[in-house]
Structure 1
Amino acid sequence: MTERSDPGQVDTVRAAAAEEGASQVEALHVTRRKAPPHSTALPDAHDTAPRTAAARLLALLHHSGPLSRSSATSALGLARSAMGTALAELDELGLVRTTADTTAASGRGRPSPLVIPAPTAPFVVAAVLRPNCLKVATGTIGAPIAPPRHQPLSARDFEPERLAAIVAEQIEHAIRRQDGVARVCAGITVAIPGAIRESDGFVRSSLCYGWTDVPFGQLMTPLLPNFPLHFDRDSNLTAMAEYRRGAAAGASNALVLTCDGKGIGGALMNAGTLFTGGGHAVEAGHLMVDSRGEACPCGSRGCLERYADGTALARAAAVPTAGEALQSTTPRARRARRRAAGILGSGLAGLATVLDPDRIVLTGFLADLLAAEPNVLPREIHRGSLIARTRGIQPVPGELAEPMLTGAVDHAFAPLLRDPQRVRPTGR
């Protein structure tokens, strides 16, 4: 999935780090569910058996991009014979092939063939629901995600059955676009804003859609009966993607906040493990920052997102959109930006004190707010948190253009990467 200008020149140390991070995360962040009725895919059950060399190689290729055979061998710590066996297994499954193109390993030694995804390797579909649109993209092993297709959403589309039909239609469109490419669909991930049960896509609460206790996964399953469906919180997927490939990489304890304009989500990566608590941990947007503040649809008052998301900033700046509020030079817009950044900083100070992160990553609108007010946010975090001040924590922007889609693609691929032999994509 990582873009490379010269895929043959791979730094062995970075490849090893990528593989190690992938192996830590994949075993812990996989939706555990049975395949939909009538699906030809095997159940995505718990798998505690040691990962095979072939599975480790496929995961490394997916997260690092094309590799020279010598770099892959070194990164995985395999003997040459074991690497040969793994390559033969993946080649037989139509997942990987070795090209005639060669490159010198780490700039020295005899040329080494390149290991690349096979043209027949399967694809996956990622569908990310946002407050005002649906984004759908396809992903293949070891390559950047395809440009997403945007489907606008209005309030009339928020009725659960209608939205399920829209999502299924757009996913089917993405699958049809792969006709004639000799690939099959290995899985689908649907990312949902709100508190959901990942095992079956049951939405306990989604304030942006006005949902409470909606069995969205149950609505989706009969519409896509022949494909393995996965569900996850949008903020979880963002954190996973930034941890694997972006600004949270290498952090011991990374707090990642998300915002596409309306609402604020959060997730915590702790030593490569996604911290989920009882299933809905780090709902950062509903951290109370003012007990006598504005009423929130969640039932509380003074929630962080009532003052620091894009909708709140646009309202305070008296402009139509958050983008205009970030760019406006009027005194009112400047005051609104400083206030929003200050309140966000105070909220982050509270989170830092409780969670003790060594890195705070802001994505989407929040990254733009950080760029607009680069001094306010760090100052407020340090003023409000001894932990942040002692650690010298500085919030950083996310590095990925589409972290939710990237995380959703990785999530859909997880069963295949965990066991290439066990998972048989539909359409075989």
Structure 2
Amino acid sequence: MIRRSNLSLVLRHLQEHGPRSRSAVAAETGLNKATVTSLVGELRARGLIREIGPQHAGSVGRPGLALALDGAGVGALGLEINVDYIAAFATDLAGRVLVDRRVGFDAMGCEPEASLDELARVARDAIAELHMLGVRVAGITVAVPGLIDGTNGVVHVAPNLGWYGVPVAERLWEVAPGVPVTVANDANLAALAEFTNGVAAGSADMVYLTGEVGVGGGIIAGGRLLGGADGFAGEVGHVMVDSSGERCGCGRIGCWETKVGLAALVRMVTPDHAYGVRDGIVRDPEERLSEIERRLAVGDPQVDHALAEVGRWLGRGSATLVRLFNPRVIVVGGFFARLEGHILPRAQAELARLGVTGSVARCTFVASDLGFGAASRGAAGVVVDRVLANPTTVEIPPTTLSTLA
């Protein structure tokens, strides 16, 4: 455990501070030089760091060889399955994007087994692409819009997918034997992506709202993701806001997502192509939004009314979140961000009307720039962080082992 901790210390130090000589790493981390030399040898064998040439520090004597984070041959794969698409996003350990794609898929209209088959196919394609690039997959994380048992990768319930007790991780272990697979809530993963790389990166107190068919929330409090006792925190879309409203996919009446989810907007604007209407056409959310934007551009009053309703209810529900969590910023993704100019001013006005004066004055809505790919990005980021925390999860290649022997 001590060695694993020291491996992580050296790797994170190089990630955060850039190239360093062995002596500099020893001085800055408090480890002795012999220990650093041993740790560096193992990290190099695992393909996680590399030597990049002499580093001149201004001191007398021969300059030391600088070490830098490498990981070009180590990949992190993030997947997302949602109501109408499956996404794959992969990076190497240094954050270089290797795979970024989204395919339309009607998960709402399929049995769970068929959805898992399609998810497995997308995973296989992404892994094959990484292998062609000479990249080993260090781990896979799957984003799902539902309540997840993080210990075994089973989705307890995902109302909009119609999933109950679905073993997602088990299915992907078949695709990638020996590769660690974890499953997590999509909004939580998107919140992590926003916290590390988004428009409000580094905001210690932040709420992220997905802006998908369902509305999930990821809550960053004090710089940490709020998980709750069972990891189910953030299910804001199923907070009841209208006791006489529409029936939600979860079976209850008047949930917040029945007022502000993409399904609600599509139902108001294009009822003939609403979610759940089987017309034989698989529509990606971008395609649905393009139709709404087209109608908005020609001055369709029905669209403006629908967006006003979404904005009003977004602000109304967010007022409760501000009272509960006191965030400095509410980052909105998905279609909220795409249509920000028509939704967020109304939401901010409603928030100001209903919120507690002091906290509201210091909390603003901000549109994400990560699009519908925030969750899969966050999923890949979780894999990278897991490797940084425990470098021994990346095996030493057999060819390197034979050389060391």
Instruction: Give TM-score scaled by structure 1 length.
Output: 0.76
Counterpart in the other structure of 2:251? 299
The answer as to whether partners of 2:148 and 2:184 remain within 8 angstroms in 1 is yes
Displacement, 1:240? 1.0
Counterpart in the other structure of 1:209? 161
The answer as to whether partners of 2:123 and 2:175 remain within 8 angstroms in 1 is no
2:127 corresponds to 1:175: yes
The answer as to whether partners of 2:88 and 2:101 remain within 8 angstroms in 1 is yes
Matches within 5 A, 1:267-346: 267-277=218-228, 278-318=230-270, 321-326=288-293, 328=296, 329-346=299-316
- Partner Cα distance (2:222, 2:355) in 1: 22
Change (3 A) 1:183 1:313: closer
Identical positions, percent: 27
Displacement, 1:87? 4.2
Task: Give the one of 351, 370, 387 matched to 1:381.
Answer: 351
Aligned AA (2:51) = T
Change (3 A) 1:426 1:314: farther
1:340-375 residue CA offsets vs partner (Å, 9 max, x unmatched): 101111000011111222221111212233332342
Shifted more, 149-158 versus 367-376: the winner is 149-158
- Where do 5+ consecutive residues of structure 2 fail to align? 274-287, 399-405
Counterpart in the other structure of 1:400? 370
Shifted more, 248-257 versus 124-133: the winner is 248-257
The answer as to whether partners of 1:226 and 1:426 remain within 8 angstroms in 2 is no
- Partner Cα distance (1:391, 1:299) in 2: 36
The answer as to whether partners of 2:76 and 2:383 remain within 8 angstroms in 1 is yes
Change (3 A) 1:408 1:382: same
Counterpart in the other structure of 1:4? none
More helix by share: 2
Task: Give the one of 141, 156, 177 matched to 1:225.
Answer: 177
Counterpart in the other structure of 1:265? 216
Counterpart in the other structure of 2:281? none
Displacement, 1:88? 4.3
- Partner Cα distance (1:243, 1:103) in 2: 35
The answer as to whether partners of 2:89 and 2:377 remain within 8 angstroms in 1 is no
- Partner Cα distance (2:196, 2:24) in 1: 21
The answer as to whether partners of 2:108 and 2:162 remain within 8 angstroms in 1 is no
Task: Give the one of 327, 335, 353 matched to 1:365.
Answer: 335
Change (3 A) 1:143 1:94: same
The answer as to whether partners of 2:217 and 2:236 remain within 8 angstroms in 1 is yes
Change (3 A) 1:301 1:115: same
Change (3 A) 1:158 1:204: same
Change (3 A) 1:343 1:141: same
SS of residue in 1 equivalent to 2:98: coil
Counterpart in the other structure of 2:381? 410
2:307 corresponds to 1:356: no
Instruction: Give TM-score scaled by structure 2 length.
Output: 0.80
Shifted more, 89-98 versus 132-141: the winner is 89-98
The answer as to whether partners of 1:367 and 1:398 remain within 8 angstroms in 2 is yes
Displacement, 1:268? 0.8
Aligned AA (1:364) = G
The answer as to whether partners of 2:328 and 2:364 remain within 8 angstroms in 1 is no
SS of residue in 2 equivalent to 1:151: strand
SS of residue in 2 equivalent to 1:134: strand
Task: Give the one of 44, 58, 83 matched to 2:11.
Answer: 58
Counterpart in the other structure of 2:283? none
Displacement, 1:130? 1.6
Task: Give the one of 77, 80, 100 matched to 2:53.
Answer: 100
SS of residue in 2 equivalent to 1:383: helix
Larger Rg: 2
1:283-330 residue CA offsets vs partner (Å, 9 max, x unmatched): 121122211111112122121111212221222234753343345032
1:166-189 residue CA offsets vs partner (Å, 9 max, x unmatched): 222222222222335443221111
2:88 corresponds to 1:136: yes
Task: Give the one of 90, 113, 119 matched to 2:43.
Answer: 90
The answer as to whether partners of 1:123 and 1:185 remain within 8 angstroms in 2 is yes
- Partner Cα distance (2:351, 2:56) in 1: 48
The answer as to whether partners of 2:71 and 2:94 remain within 8 angstroms in 1 is no
Change (3 A) 1:112 1:352: farther
The answer as to whether partners of 2:55 and 2:64 remain within 8 angstroms in 1 is yes
- Partner Cα distance (1:191, 1:381) in 2: 29
Shifted more, 266-275 versus 171-180: the winner is 171-180
Task: Give the one of 46, 64, 68 matched to 1:115.
Answer: 68
The answer as to whether partners of 1:383 and 1:389 remain within 8 angstroms in 2 is no
SS of residue in 1 equivalent to 2:364: coil
- Partner Cα distance (2:141, 2:153) in 1: 10
Aligned-CA RMSD value = 3.3
- Partner Cα distance (1:125, 1:346) in 2: 36
Aligned AA (1:362) = V
Counterpart in the other structure of 2:149? 197
- Where do 5+ consecutive residues of structure 1 fail to align? 1-46
Aligned AA (1:93) = R
Displacement, 1:247? 3.0
